Structure 1
Amino acid sequence: MTGIRSYRIVLPPPWVRVPLGPEARDRVHDIVERAATQAPKEMSPDQLGPLKRELERRMLSQLASAAERGGLDHYFPLGPMHGIHLGASFFVAAVTPPGGTAELSPDDLAGGVLTQLVATTPGSTAVEIAGTVWVRTEGVMPPDPDRAGGVDAPVRRVSYLTAVPDDPRQWVLVSFSTLGDGDPESEHTLLTVELFDAIMSTWRWATGPDGWD
């Protein structure tokens, strides 16, 4: 499923966006090279080289995992935020609508299917962002040694799911994951989730013939 309606969000630095597609590898390489310019001056090329390659490997692994799930764009912080390492990322994906919703009107969708999802999905609530109703789901995933990036630790995950306005045949999933400080219930980790919720509150759909008013 491709070609969802355009959107935009406000990203605080040092968050960056990588569109998933043929140019993703080059984009990752450019980001790693830019990050390397912030390395301590006393670090030699022999020391910096392996770190750059490992960072690029981890980023490409995350992108591949997101692409397998229909990912369109991947977002992550390029370094610490206010001196704190977030250990977080999120992706935007086009997903298949829940069964039987393709012919529903937007009103039926918001009033029926989304309500049912909230009622039947643990950890879910209805959230309105700029006139669009989303299903927000939050939970903790247990450690998984096969997880992309090779980090065997619990992950707090938050997702937002909705249909594209005026086109219930197209659905969008925004999926956020964070290791936080290793404790999914800690203040550090929960503040990272609050940051993601704040980013999502800036979500806006394209409007007008040129994509944006």
Structure 2
Amino acid sequence: MKRILVVSSLTFALLTGGGAAVAAPAAAPRPYCVLHLSQGGTTDCYPTFTEAIADGTDGRVTDAPATTEAAGDALDRRLDAAAVPAGSPAALAAAGGTVIGIQYWHIDYEGAAWVVEANHACDRDKGYAEWQSSFPGHAWDNQISSAKVFAGCYAFFWDTPNYDVYGVAIAGDTSDFRSIGTWNPRNFNDMTTSIYWT
């Protein structure tokens, strides 16, 4: 059974010194972060996208562009190729290094990036969440504007910390969250508070 650490907004406020505003990663000196689901949800941030991708792939991809704006389809293919297959002997022994998703602060895969790393690729069994993250009060809460999904995963983006109410599912790339959703006006931009991958 997979476990998830859910930090409430109140707990986050207490840990960060009260109601102080959280600095936007896009303006921070280290705007490219890696969420290590393989390590219990720890996060490391870097000044370049190159360093974040190297960390997220355990050093298998070390020459990604310095910024998200310079990245493209060639990098996407390399990230998929570097994934440890689900159910393989390597997946059982893997300590991490498979990028399953990248969330972006801006539309068109630009700005700050939140690289999500896991032990292995997804098996696309929609019956359960293989990996999940809930982040109310975090700097990325209600800030995702575009996303890419890798390693055979589907990603489900939710507007609550409990993976319910309104959500959207993507498999692949979604360059503009302003044009997805199942309700009027079909806008999911800056609305994500939790994500699960399957």
Higher relative contact order (CA 8 A, sep 6+): 1
So what's the TM-score if we normalise by structure 2? 0.28
Whichever of the two has the greater Rg, that structure is 1
Structure in which a larger fraction of residues adopt helix: 1
So what's the TM-score if we normalise by structure 1? 0.26
